[in-house]
A and B are shown apart, each in its own frame.
Chain A
């Protein structure tokens, strides 16, 4: 039910409410959390940024779920990238050694291949995801949303008993 509500909220905010930048910001920040392991210092920092900045929380949470799945699929790739950065580039060795022996930096677990590989990937993808999502929200609100709502598949799902039931449950409090 949580995921259903999350998806509904996400579709809702695509249509109205917060600005495209807020939605895209939440989505892009959520992608960082989803791609890289959360229980690290940088994970906490990203959560902090999401909570402080006025970005869309539903978009962030939805993005976290989607990108966590992507991270699981691409884990071997992140591992190889992390190993390459940590072990194969001699020029970076001094930086890693200094960070490893500095306060707090080891709490980021940067010396783990998957943590570093996925975090670097997330940082590289951050801007394209942000810009892409922003553009998508604008287009969705202008034209795409109307077209989708007119699609037969959408209407079938919309009229389905599960969605009707969900709506009844959702609106129960407001009717009362």
Chain B
């Protein structure tokens, strides 16, 4: 029995199978030991490059077994916008992985320390990568919308401030061309509609006219009822039924008339309302005409946008790129993702999260610190902060990704940056808050190429920024305070207004700007407010405001005259049709009421006759009864 079992074992199991396992296992172990550092370095660099879009380099990575973890001497992440600069680089980084969770295929890191973090260092090699071909998105992102806004602003011709030139070039006849006036088009359309309605009204009135014969018939029937011929109750009842029947006929005619009348009256009222609405359209036409005349915008927005130039906006829009990237890059896993079409042999991963379990990937805390050498660099830079809860599933961790950073430069500039990226529920919400103080501004362009080109040569800026990004919406408020400002003008001022602005700016030492950028559904918008506006606008208004107002009044009067003339045509037509219709309606209504009154009077007469007859019979009866009683008691 034992021998048989042994034989069976020999047949099933490989002889010296241990060698078959041991030798490959040892070989694999040696290979893994020799190459694992290189494999992990390549893997991390590749993943980083896919995420950032620029070169990611890790130096001297080493995998430790006990505790299982990683450390590397330096991490460089190139700037995707400038390949010769690093977005940041770090010193030594070391962290340990939770072994228990690693057995579950999860990468959980309690604390990662990133020391000697330096931003914007220069690279010795180009760190840019070929741009991947991305499919065109159906809805434009924040940056695309912002860029199109800058371009559209740039393509708008600047309003001229030369009043004499404006007067010379202003061609009112061309501007007041009927093709440019919506009121004109509306009046033509109304005229056609009124004429069409007039035809319909006439047909309706003709129908009403046809019922006149029925009214005559009603009248003759009513007259045929001879109240004097009623001798008894039976004939009275017949006469009353006849009168009621005639009255029903008359009421039927009246109901039909009222229905037709209300249709015509509604139409008349509708056209009356449309003619009144022409005032609003005329006001809109005036605004369009003023725009076409390219009169200077004396509101603060126009001047502020011109003086502050595009630099400030462009800088703000650049940061929108980062906000957009964060919004689209940080996403959450879904319980049941829709089926994808992955590459061959790659498949699609489906995640199964349960309560109080770890996500696939979670760095609980990253401590960051670093800067330049304080002893050798008077403008030394130092930053520290922490990033909390980087994970692939915030629903599992229950924590949003949080970033808190503090930085100083040269002991004068300070920056604090706080952000949260909440993906725990829909819609995802991102919050940003940044405070910057004492930033030295060495060069910032002012004005425009066609309006007082100038630049700030030195200034100190403080800024406070808050932004909320719920889903695809966006709302940010920025307050910038410029102090100790020195301006240099690229050329001497041309014209009156440039001279005014030049004088105002030359005497300024600072100003504040409130900038709001927001997006509701699909519309991106920007609003400026600055105390610079008040000074500039008041000075500008003083000088050119009256002239501009005069031109505007002239335009308004000519437009009103032109529209008034056209309006008279439609009003005349409307009144004509209205009076025709209402006159005929009134005549018929009077006729109808007369006939109705006649029938009702006849009915009343019959009813009175019946009452009288009833009373007479009752009296006769009581008299007979009394006589009978008298006979009894005699």
Q: Spell out A's residues near B (CB within 8 Å).
A: 37, 48, 51-55, 71-72, 75, 78-80, 82-83, 86-87, 93, 96-107, 109, 111-115, 117
Report yes or no: B339 in contact with A114, Cβ–Cβ below 8 A: no
Cβ contact within 8 Å between A53 and B14: yes
Q: Across the interface, do A53 and B348 meet the contact criterion of CB distance under 8 Å?
A: no
Q: Which of B13, B14, B106, B353 has the most CB of A within 10 A?
A: B14
Residue pair A52, B350 in contact (C-beta under 8 Å)? no
The contact sample of 22 A-B pairs, CB cut-off 8 A, is A48-B21, A51-B21, A52-B14, A53-B13, A53-B14, A71-B345, A72-B344, A75-B344, A79-B342, A80-B339, A82-B348, A87-B350, A96-B350, A99-B352, A100-B351, A101-B352, A101-B357, A102-B104, A104-B104, A111-B352, A113-B349, A113-B350
The CA-CA distance from A27 to B62 in the complex, in Å, is: 40
A11 and B193 CA atoms in complex are apart in Å by 94
> Known contacts A51-B14, A52-B21, A106-B105: does B342 contact A101 (CB below 8 Å)?
no
B62-96, CB under 8 A of A: which get 1 and which 0?
A: 00000000000000000000000000000000000
Residues of B within 8 A of A82 (CB): 347-348
Q: In the complex the two chains form, is B21's CB within 8 Å of A54's CB?
A: no
The distance in angstroms between the C-alpha atoms of A103 and B336, with both chains bound, is: 23
Q: Per DSSP, are chain A's interface residues mostly helix, strand or loop, or mixed?
A: helix
B24 x A51 contact (CB < 8 A): yes
Please tell me if B12 contacts chain A, counting CB pairs below 8 Å.
yes
Q: What mask results when residues 416 to 438 of chain B are scored 1 for a CB within 8 Å of chain A, else 0? A: 00000000000000000000000
B306 → chain A, closest Cβ, in Å? 57
- B345 near A111: Cβ-Cβ < 8 Å: no
Contact at B345–A114, with CB atoms within 8 Å?
A: yes
Chain A residues in 8 Å Cβ range of B15: 54
Task: Determine the chain A residues whose CB is within 8 A of the CB of B106 once the complex forms.
Answer: 106
Chain B 319-362 residues near chain A, CB threshold 8 A: 336-337, 339, 342, 344-354, 357
How many Cβ-Cβ contacts under 8 Å join chain A to chain B?
A: 92
Q: Is B132 an interface residue (CB 8 A)?
A: no
Q: What residues of chain A lie closer than 8 Å to B135, measured between beta carbons?
A: none
List the B side residues contacting A78 at CB < 8 Å: 347
With contacts A79-B342, A96-B352 taken as known, whether A53 is within 8 angstroms of B12 at the C-beta atoms is yes
In the bound assembly, the distance between CA atoms of A105 and B105 in angstroms comes to 8
0/1 interface trace, chain B 1-39, chain A, CB 8 Å (1 if under): 000000000111111010011001000000000000000
Are B349's CB and A111's CB within 8 A?
yes
Q: Shortest CB–CB separation between residue A17 and chain B, in angstroms?
A: 14
B51 within 8 A of A: no
Asked if B273 is at the interface of the complex by the 8 Å CB criterion, the answer is no
Are A104 and B103 also in contact (CB < 8 A) when A51-B24, A53-B14, A72-B344 are? Answer: yes
Chain A residue numbers with a CB within 8 Å of B349 are: 111-113
**Assembled-state Cα–Cα distance A106/B347 (Å):** 15
Is the Cβ of A51 less than 8 Å from the Cβ of B17?
yes
Taking the nearest CB of chain B, how far is it from the CB of A110, in angstroms?
Answer: 10
CB contacts (< 8 Å) of A98 on chain B: these are 354
- Pairs of residues from A and B, 3 with the lowest C-beta to C-beta distance, nearest first: A114-B347, A106-B105, A100-B352
B631 beta carbon closer than 8 Å to chain A: no
Who on chain A is nearest to B344 by CB?
A75
* Residues of B contacting A51 in the complex (Cβ-Cβ under 8 angstroms): 14, 17, 20-21, 24
Cross-chain contact of B347 among A79, A100, A107 (Cβ < 8 A): A79
Assembled-state Cα–Cα distance A104/B105 (Å): 7
State how many angstroms separate the Cβ of A30 from the closest Cβ of chain B.
15
CA distance A24 to B13 in the complex (A): 15
Q: Contacts A54-B15, A106-B105 given: A86-B350 contact, CB under 8 Å? A: yes
Residues of B within 8 A of A87 (CB): 336-337, 339, 350
Nearest residue in B to A78 (C-beta to C-beta)? B347
Q: Are A111 and B351 in contact (CB under 8 A)?
A: yes
Chain A positions within 8 Å of B130 at CB level: none
Contact with A along B95-138 (1 / 0, CB 8 A): 00000100111100000000000000000000000000000000
CA distance A82 to B337 in the complex (A): 13
Residues of chain B with a CB closer than 8 A to A53's CB: 12-14
Looking at the assembled complex, report how far the CB atom of B338 sits from the nearest CB atom of chain A, in whole angstroms. 9
User: A99's closest neighbor in chain B, by CB?
Assistant: B352
CB distance from A43 to the nearest CB of B (A): 13
Contacts of A86 in B (CB 8 A): 350
CB distance from B473 to the nearest CB of A (A): 31
Is the Cβ of A79 less than 8 Å from the Cβ of B13? no
Q: Which residues of A contact B347 (CB under 8 A)?
A: 78-79, 82, 112-115, 117
Instruction: List the B side residues contacting A54 at CB < 8 Å.
Output: 10-15, 17
